[in-house]
Amino acid sequence: MSRQLTAIIEREEDGYVSLCPELDIASQGNTIEEAKRNLQEALELFFECASSEEVKTRLHNEVYITQLEVEVG
C-alpha cells in the first residue's frame, strides 16, 4: 500500500530541510533531491515502526499549503 504525502523543502544555510506536514516528520540533505530522498526514507521507517495508534494520532488528513499577501513596513 502507498500513500501520497506532502514534502516541503526549503533552503537552510548550507543545505535543504524537508518536512512532511501531515506527520510532522523532517529530514535534511545537501541537495533538494537528497533532502527529498532522506524524508522519504524517514517516512518509510516511521510507517514500518509506528503502531497504527501512533499513525492515527499523528496523521493530519487535511493539510493546505497556500501563499498569503501581507503588508510589510
Specify if 73 maps to a domain. Answer: no
Cβ-Cβ contacts under 8 Å for 31 (sequence gap 6 or more): 15, 16
DSSP for residue 31: S
Mean pLDDT of 7-30: 97
Specify if 49 maps to a domain. Answer: yes
- Reported confidence tier of residue 17, pLDDT bands at 50, 70, 90: very high
Query: Based on the structure, what is the number of domains in the chain?
Result: 1
Specify if 67 maps to a domain. Answer: no
Specify if 48 maps to a domain. Answer: yes
Per-residue pLDDT tens digits for 47-72: 999 999 999 999 999 999 999 999 99
Specify if 65 maps to a domain. Answer: no
Cβ-Cβ contacts under 8 Å for 52 (sequence gap 6 or more): none
Given a cut of 90, whether residue 4 has pLDDT beyond it is yes
Domain that holds residue 42: 8-58
